[in-house]
Chain A
Amino acid sequence: MDITDEILIDLYKRMVRVRLFEEEAGRLAESARLPGFLHLYVGEEAVAAGVCAALKNEDQITSTHRGHGHLLAKGGDFNRMMAELMGKATGYCNGKGGSMHICDLDLAMLGANGIVGAGVPIAVGAAFANRLTGNGLISVSFFGDGATNIGAFHEAANMAAALSLPMLFICENNEYAEYSPRHRTMAITDVIERAAAYGFPGAIVDGMDCVAVFEAASLAIEKIRSGEGPMMLECKTYRFYDHVGVKGTASNYRTDEEVEEMKKRDPLLVHEARLIESGVMSADSLQAIKDEIQKEVDKSVEFAEESPFPEVEEMLLDVYSKREPS
């Protein structure tokens, strides 16, 4: 597959956007400037970047509790993201959803989700609508290894296969279901073995390498768009921080050695080395990209902090849609 320099740079920018936003969100959480739970995507950026770069803007995605990365990689807005994390009226969900319900319907991002596995059936519905209306779009569901143990995943995978829907299943296997290692929660090593049981093809991808993910996703998406039915990619990846919050090391469920070993495969470092070695970008220009994006992140913190909280009266708004006059 021919990967242009433009694509390589685009992948890098998508990952940096996620990384720098998430690091900032982590710092804010640690200094108690963010309410609620925070599930950071740091370490897994190659997956969201690789898949989203292969999608059309209108292709729908459903996400997980670790959903910031998916929205940002699809082009999400820092200001509205950060404001939502702070519960502000200017946020993506007017401060009524928070980190776990970040969404942007204009970007066809149908929501992060507080329930593990629950986004997968919703992506089936989007795929069904795509086929019924013949709009040529596909839907993608991101979910973790842990979600594949949940009934909703099984029902959705089987239904997508039975109805032969245009849907891509992206398993982000970070080896831990919250704090439980994969070997304690399933008796198989590779989640992808499950795809065969539903009757659709799948492949294992290096989820720490954005180019590998982009290539695999592009191939799969082309086939799915041409009507070959659903497919699944298992992206082997790793969560640098804990299930919730930041820390990541000195934990009782994985060793620091393991974390350090995986950090050597940091998807940003892997890709930076590639860009420099292949002469696509210099170290200086990579730093310039990071500086530019960091400025945007800083501005988003300012924007969010200066934004008002929702008025108390807004609590009761939008429980129901009002009927539009016909």
Chain B
Amino acid sequence: MSPDNIFEGANESGGTEEKDGERKLGYGAAVVETMAQIMREDESVFIAGEDVGAHGGVFGYYRGLQPEFGEDRVVDTPIAEQAIIGLGIGAAVQGLRPVVDLMFMDFICVAMDQIVNQAAKLKYMFGGGAKLPLTITTAGGGGLSAAAQHSQSLEAMLCHVPGLKVVMPSDAYEVKGLLTACIREDNPTVFIINKRKLGDACHVPEELFEIPLGKGHIVREGSDATVVAIGRMVEEATKAAETLSDEGIDCELINPRTVQPLDIDLIVESVSKTGHLVIVHEAVRFGGIGAEIAAQIQEKAFDYLDAPIERVAAPFSPVPFSPVLEKKYIPDAERISAGIKNLF
């Protein structure tokens, strides 16, 4: 952890390391590397947000960019979420490709008008004439005892708004590929950085690459049950699938990567094979992405289902502060395993 990181418990951004000839990069470091590479190749990309410049972001995922690209392209703004999004919208309409940071996903609520009523709708309301290549980065998810206003997973709220794309990278590889795709996209995207994942490293290619938005990924093939896990839950679901494999349940794990647009075809195909579906997310169960996936699966794959669809998600309460409570609140491998077993 860097000494000036104000969040006890947050992992450090993680640097690169060579191990067994494979280049590994931390989740947070992947944000920095991607931004730097994109800003070198595209002058229309800039970053604006609270403390993104001199401080490099409160989580450090913009560290080192201002020294290279200067104060004009890595812009420290006032604490003013509506104006930060507005700044991005106005600049995007002018043809730039802004990346604006909202620090904590919870703060998106402060800027909801600019995101929902302006950014998401401008193109449509203007009869198609406007392009809005705007990327909003924000840190979501719990697990740091950051309590109810700094820990939420609000992706379902955003997915309900036509015009937005909502992207949830589960590891450093996806951070790089999906962030690149978001910035090159001509639509407003919300790129949700999971703050518990910041220090986790995995193999990431050095050169820029894109992972297409709207395409899910089969993390693990299996024949007994389909498990759809979102964001950091991919990691927990992987552990659960490994455990259950020893017990004779063979899970197919799907990571949608983007929740809007949602790769429902991939899930339908998998459920057609396994006949069982469990959906896992960190957000509260009621009205979460799981509800949408479950509804679409009963529309599109009802005949293949051998059991009711199971959802493993947070209960319907604000995120609690106490570590003891929060640990029970956020789904983990154990709860996911129990959820999968419920199907059989």
Contact = CB atoms under 8 A, between A and B. Distances in A.
Given A152-B114, A321-B186, A122 B127 contact: no
A321 B78 contact: no
A323 interface: yes
B130 A105 contact: yes
Interface stretch (A39-47, A90-98, A271-279): A90-98
A151 interface: yes
B328 to A, nearest CB: 37
A128 B128 contact: no
Contacts of B87: 121, 124-125, 128, 159
Given A125-B88, A125-B93, A155 B113 contact: no
B317 interface: no
Given A152-B82, A155-B80, A155-B83, A124 B126 contact: no
Contacts of A156: 80, 82-83, 86
A82 to B, nearest CB: 15
Contacts of B93: 105, 110, 122, 125-126
A129 B117 contact: no
A125 B94 contact: yes
Contact of B127 (A91, A110, A124, A127): A91
Interface centre among B118, B131, B165 (most CB of A within 10 A): B118
Interface in B22-65: 46, 48
A121 B90 contact: yes
Nearest to A156: B83
A49 B223 CA distance: 70
Given A132-B96, A133-B96, A159-B77, A317 B90 contact: no
Contacts of A320: 123, 163, 165, 187
Contacts, number: 153
A159 B79 CA distance: 9
B132 interface: yes
B206 interface: no
Interface string A139-172: 1000000000001100110110011000000000
Contacts of A64: none
B94 A159 contact: no
B72 interface: yes
A102 to B, nearest CB: 9
Contacts of A114: 117
B127 A158 contact: no
Interface centre among B93, B128, B187 (most CB of A within 10 A): B93
A60 B94 CA distance: 9
B115 to A, nearest CB: 11
B327 interface: no
B73 interface: yes
Interface in A186-237: none
A115 B117 contact: yes
A314 to B, nearest CB: 9
B83 A111 contact: no
A211 B130 CA distance: 34
Contacts of B132: 321
Q: How large is the interface on A (under 10, 10 to 19, 20 to 34, 35 or more residues)?
A: 35 or more
Contacts of A105: 93, 126, 129-130
Contacts of A127: 90
A74 interface: no
B88 A111 contact: no
B138 to A, nearest CB: 17
Nearest to B118: A118
Interface in B207-224: none
A141 B132 CA distance: 19
Interface string B121-162: 011111111111000000000000000000000000000001
A162 B78 contact: yes
B80 A103 contact: no
Interface in B70-124: 72-73, 75, 77-78, 80-96, 98, 113-114, 117-118, 122-124
Given A121-B86, A155-B80, A319-B163, A96 B124 contact: yes
A125 B80 contact: no
Contacts of B98: 125
Contacts of A123: 86, 90
Contact of B90 (A125, A158, A163): A125
A63 interface: no
A284 interface: no
Nearest to B119: A122
A103 B86 contact: no
B123 A93 contact: no
Contacts of A318: 123-124, 127-128
Contacts of B186: 321-324
B80 A158 contact: yes
Contacts of B187: 320-321
5 contacts: A103-B125, A111-B125, A152-B114, A155-B82, A317-B128
Going nearest first, the 6 A-B pairs with the smallest beta carbon separation are: A125-B90, A121-B86, A318-B128, A93-B127, A94-B127, A155-B83
